[in-house]
Every structure is written in C-alpha cells, then in structure tokens.
Amino acid sequence: MEYAIRGGLSNDFLKNELEINLEELIKKTLDSINVLSKYTHIQEEVFSVEESKGDKIVMDSMRALTNFFEEIDCLKDNLIHKYEHLLFDIIDGIFANETFNEIDMLSTHHLVDEIVLDKVGILDINSNEISIEIIGTVYVQHMYGSDRDRRKGDGDEFNSSYPFTVSKIIDVLYPLGISIDSSEIMVDNSSFFE
C-alpha cells in the first residue's frame, strides 16, 4: 500500500519537500483497503444479500477504490507542483542561452520572448526512477534582415510559437536532482511550414 502511494520516494522527501504526512495518508488508504478487503472472499454473508444491500456494497467498494486512487494522485500533484517551478527555471535558462536549430533555421535572427510549461506529467514512479513528460510552448520573435534593413522596409519581423516536449527519467533517490540538456528538448517547428 505504501509503495503504491509513494513508489521509491523516501518518507523524508515526502515529509520535508512535499509536506505530506505519510502516516495520515496510509491511514486514509488503509480505511479504503479495509472496505475493499471485506469483499475479496466469496462468502454467503457477503454475496447472498438483497438487492439494496448489494447496491450499497458496490457503492462502498467503488468509493473506497476511488479514495485509494485519489491519495496516489494527491502525491503526484504535490510532486508536479514542486517540479513546475524547478523545471521552468531550468528550461527557461536553456532557451535563453542555447540556440535551437529548429528555430534558428527559420529566420535571419530571432529572440525567444517567453516559454510556457503547458503540462508537467508524471508517467511513473517506481523503486528506481521517476518518469516525467513536459509539454510546453516557446514564443519567438523572428526577424529577417538587419535592424537597418527593417527600418528601411527591406526586412520583416513577426511573432510565432512552437510546441516543445521533454521526456526525462529522474533517479528516485534524488527526485529534485534534475538536469536537462538542450538536446533533450524537442521543438516542433512544423507549423511554420503549413
């Protein structure tokens, strides 16, 4: 039950970084598991019941199962919230300091105006690693010709945006020890050619 909730994340990490009380979470989950456990053994007193009691058993089981999954989602949501700030700083720094061929090839010059992390998702937490996926958008100002050319009307400039994705595996022992290389950021410039 504990592993289903936290995977390989340590109790200290949950308590200190995510401010999650694992004991409280386990108690809530255990309550749900106990409700579900009542219906795992086929016995006459459980399944030989009138329809209204049977409906109640089904509803109680569904509620308990839903509560169990909600506790798992609660932990993931807290971790995602922690990652959003950290990942934004890392990725924003990469776009500010690196040149991406997928953007650079589209104009004489360009400026990255802004990046937005549209979604940070945790795909899996197991005993060894955390698998995350980041979906974002980079907003770019494209410029053709020099400043002087553009002032004379011989150049052009326009704004555009491009989606990007990052898939990352993080060591579960160091869940905040994230490093991203620019080669791991996949920018999709296909909209430029449409």
Q: 149-156 contacts: CB < 8 A, separation 24 or more?
A: 155/108
Per residue in 59-114, pLDDT tens?
A: 877 887 787 788 778 878 888 988 998 999 999 999 999 999 999 999 888 999 99
> Which uninterrupted H or E stretch holds 150?
helix 147-152
pLDDT above 70: percentage of residues in the chain: 88
Q: Are 114 and 139 in contact (CB under 8 A)?
A: yes
Q: Are 164 and 187 in contact (CB under 8 A)?
A: yes
Task: Tell whether the model's pLDDT for residue 155 goes beyond 90.
Answer: no
What CA–CA distances, in Å, run from 194 to 112, 138, 140, 191? 21, 18, 17, 5
Per residue in 5-33, pLDDT tens?
A: 788 888 888 888 888 877 777 777 777 67
